């Protein structure tokens, strides 16, 4: 059973595990330290409390195990940007696809967005598969990244 949920202070060690190993290969960042993970969950909760919310970050919870995060950035023009990060030992079990599907529903209902965009590095085809399976359309390469789009159904 997979669920998206807000992050709590107690999630910091799990977040640190997510941002480590092979998972950070395409994220252009080093592995997260314990302090960075603690700061991260505090920052995420501050963003969640903003009005309006510009950045949603939700934990991907599988039977009580926090295996990753999904992110939704909101632009004032009704467009949102989607991204996702899964802990390495949880890859290949459709968790990212299920989580992004839930995030898309959230984006077009609770967040009230009209369209979504996402991108991935050309050397990261698994990320492209996730977007394709969720229904995103591939637009082409922009600034070295493969860009995708999804519009809300009328
Ligand atoms: C990309 C990522 C989120 C995928 O998570 P996941 O839970 O393994 O994804 P899913 O299991 O839902 O789907 C992965 C799909 O990619 C496919 N895939 C995996 N490796 C692949 C590869 N090297 N080439 C092509 N397809 C690949 C899988 O077969 C699956 O597709 P299928 O269901 O059609 O068989 C995860 O690998 C990750 O967190 N990577 C590091 C962070 C990252 O890249 N985030 C995205 C930034 S744009």
Rounded to whole angstroms, the maximal C-alpha distance in the chain is: 44
Q: Do the Cβ atoms of 32 and 15 come closer than 8 Å?
A: yes
Residues of the chain above pLDDT 70, percent:
100
At 50 the pLDDT is 96
Q: What is the pLDDT of residues 32-68, one digit of tens each?
A: 999 999 999 999 999 999 999 999 999 999 999 999 9
Give the residue, by CA position, lying nearest to ligand 1 atom 8.
91
Q: Is the pLDDT of residue 145 over 90?
A: yes
For residue 91, report the distance from its CA to the centre of ligand 1, in Å: 7
Give the residue, by CA position, lying nearest to ligand 1 atom 31.
129
At 150 the pLDDT is 98
Domain ranges of the chain: 2-151
Query: 2-151 adopts what CATH topology?
Result: Aminopeptidase (3.40.630)
Alpha carbon 110 to chain centroid distance? 16
Residue 65: both structure tokens together: 């195990």
Q: Is the pLDDT of residue 26 over 90?
A: no
DSSP string, the chain: -EEEE---GGGHHHHHHHSSGGGGGGTTSPPPPHHHHHHHHHHHHHHHHSSS-SEEEEEEEETTEEEEEEEEEE-TTSEEEEEEEE-GGGTTSSHHHHHHHHHHHHHHTTS--SEEEEEE-TT-HHHHHHHHHHTPEEEEEETTEEEEEEEPP-
**Distance between CA atoms of residues 26 and 120, nearest Å:** 8
What average pLDDT does the chain have?
Answer: 97
Please indicate whether residue 96, judged by its CB atom, sits closer than 6 Å to ligand 1.
Answer: yes
**Distance between CA atoms of residues 151 and 135, nearest Å:** 10
Give the residue, by CA position, lying nearest to ligand 1 atom 24.
125
At 28 the pLDDT is 87
pTM: 0.96
Please indicate whether residue 124, judged by its CB atom, sits closer than 6 Å to ligand 1.
Answer: yes
Give the residue, by CA position, lying nearest to ligand 1 atom 36.
86
The pLDDT confidence band at residue 154, using thresholds 50, 70 and 90, is confident
Please indicate whether residue 69, judged by its CB atom, sits closer than 6 Å to ligand 1.
Answer: no
Q: Is the pLDDT of residue 71 over 80?
A: yes
For residue 86, report the distance from its CA to the centre of ligand 1, in Å: 9
Q: What is the pLDDT of residues 101-139, one digit of tens each?
A: 999 999 999 999 999 999 999 999 999 999 999 999 999
Q: What is the pLDDT of residues 88-102, one digit of tens each?
A: 999 999 999 999 999
Give the residue, by CA position, lying nearest to ligand 1 atom 42.
85
Q: Is the pLDDT of residue 72 over 80?
A: yes
DSSP string, 15-43: HHHHSSGGGGGGTTSPPPPHHHHHHHHHH
Please indicate whether residue 28, judged by its CB atom, sits closer than 6 Å to ligand 1.
Answer: no
């Amino acid at each position: 059973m997979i669920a998206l949920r807000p992050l709590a202070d107690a999630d910091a060690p799990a977040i640190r595990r997510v941002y480590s190993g092979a998972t950070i290969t395409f994220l252009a960042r080093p592995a997260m330290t314990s302090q960075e993970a603690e700061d991260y969950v505090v920052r995420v909760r501050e963003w969640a409390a903003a009005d309006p919310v510009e950045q949603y970050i939700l934990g991907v919870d599988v039977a009580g195990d926090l295996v990753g995060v999904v992110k939704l950035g909101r632009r004032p023009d009704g467009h949102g940007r989607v991204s996702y990060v899964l802990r390495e030992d949880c890859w290949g079990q459709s968790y990212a696809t299920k989580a992004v599907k839930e995030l898309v529903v959230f984006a077009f209902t609770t967040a009230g967005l009209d369209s979504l965009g996402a991108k991935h590095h050309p050397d990261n085809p698994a990320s492209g598969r996730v977007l394709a399976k969720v229904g995103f359309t591939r637009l082409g390469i922009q600034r070295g990244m493969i860009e995708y789009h999804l519009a809300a159904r009328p």
